[in-house]
Amino acid sequence: MAVYRRGYQRYEGALTNHFGRMMVIPRYSWERILSQRFVTILLVVSLFWPVLCAGFVYLANHTELWQGLGGGLKRFLAINGRFFAVFMNVQSTFALIMAAVAGPGLIAPDLVNNALPLYFSRPMTRQDYILSRLIVLLGILSLVTIVPGMLLFGMQVGIAGFDWFIQNWYLGAAIFFGFLLYIGVVSLVALTSSAYVKWRVVAGALVLAFFFLLTGAAEMVNHVFRVDWASALNPAYALNTVWAGMLDIDIPDDKPGVMECATFLLAISGGLLAALARKLRPVEVVR
């Protein structure tokens, strides 16, 4: 019978589980974000570099193509931690731009339209809401970071063979967990910015500014007080240092090490999470 003739009946069927309900927000958000033309263009552009790197991997594994071109080129074409560090640095820039584009539209509209009571009056907690918003960004940012990174690593394993994998498996783990850490930090910055600034353009600019301003502030502290430890307060430096540690690349002795940088990143993530949770309340309480 047609819906308009049938009239309203209470739903009495089976309900979905908690995980299924939590994935509703990401599904709707992905659909909306991926329908934006700019996001599509950015996705395509962000794949140029992985394609170039794939060509590089192919060349590095086919020595017959560049025989007789010298030892310098051989060192240049080595697939090692430094190669993946360069790859990750470039892709992380695209991921940051993507977060600045996709992130601000995630929470601000819910706050402007007073939608939080609708979410929180359903079987969804504040933690579920934040987690589902993080999953949205994890999914989108993975497309430009983890997915091409792991494909590149898989390609290298496929061409170089199992022996190479046994010796370099930690590079795959470093790509996966390094990008995961990066996505976590960037997503928290984007969501917090979206929660506190309702204008999308300003919120997007704030995501980029967060990294530039802290970089500037860290350098300023280093110069004014003639110290080195303030580099750990630079999120870009901190992330690069943690990645370097994971990829087994040398870190300058006079700068903060992996542990200091990881501690700073954890602290800043905790701070952002607390700021986010503070803002996401179903009702405004005037004390």
Partner 1 sequence: MSSAVIEIDELRVRLGRREILQGISCRLGISGKGKAIGLLGPNGAGKSTLIQALLGFHKPSAGRARILGFDCHTQAREVKARIGYMPENDSFIGNLTAVAFLRLMGELSGLPKAAALEKAHEVLFHVGLGESRYRQIGTYSLGMKQMAKLAQAIVHGPELVILDEPTNGLDPAARQRMLQLIKEMKEQHGMSVLLCSHLLTDVEQVCDEVVILKDGVIVHQADLEAERKSNRRFVQLDVAGDDRNLAAALREIGAEGMSEAPGEWRIVLPADVEIGSLWRVAARERLQVRKLTHRRDTLEEIFLKAVGHIRRTPGDAPAEVPVHGRI
Q: Give the interface with partner 1 as residue ranges (CB under 8 A).
A: 3-4, 6-16, 18, 20-21, 24-25, 28, 32, 109-110, 112-115, 117-125, 281-283, 285-287
Token duo for residue 24? 């509703």
Q: Which is nearer to partner 1, 11 or 162 (CB)?
A: 11
Q: Which is nearer to partner 1, 95 or 135 (CB)?
A: 135
Q: Which is nearer to partner 1, 107 or 141 (CB)?
A: 107
Sign of the Cα torsion 145, 147, 148, 150 reads positive
60 contacts: CB under 8 Å, gap ≥ 6: 77, 78, 79
Q: What share of the chain is helix, strand, coil (3-state, %, to 5)?
A: 75, 0, 25
Q: Which is nearer to partner 1, 98 or 108 (CB)?
A: 108
Q: Which is nearer to partner 1, 12 or 64 (CB)?
A: 12
Angle separating helix axes 81-102 and 235-247, nearest 10 degrees:
140
CB 111 within 8 A of CB 195: yes
Smallest gap from Cβ 108 to partner 1, in A, equals 9
Smallest gap from Cβ 124 to partner 1, in A, equals 6
Q: Which is nearer to partner 1, 24 or 217 (CB)?
A: 24
Smallest gap from Cβ 19 to partner 1, in A, equals 12
Smallest gap from Cβ 98 to partner 1, in A, equals 20
Smallest gap from Cβ 24 to partner 1, in A, equals 4
Smallest gap from Cβ 17 to partner 1, in A, equals 8
Smallest gap from Cβ 104 to partner 1, in A, equals 12
Q: Which is nearer to partner 1, 1 or 166 (CB)?
A: 1
* 153-162 long-range contacts, CB within 8 A, separation 24+: 153/84, 155/54, 155/57, 155/58, 156/57, 156/61, 156/79, 159/57, 159/58, 159/61, 160/61, 160/79
174 contacts: CB under 8 Å, gap ≥ 6: 81, 84, 243, 246, 247, 248
Exposed, middle or buried by CB within 10 Å (0-12, 13-18, 19+), for 260?
Answer: middle
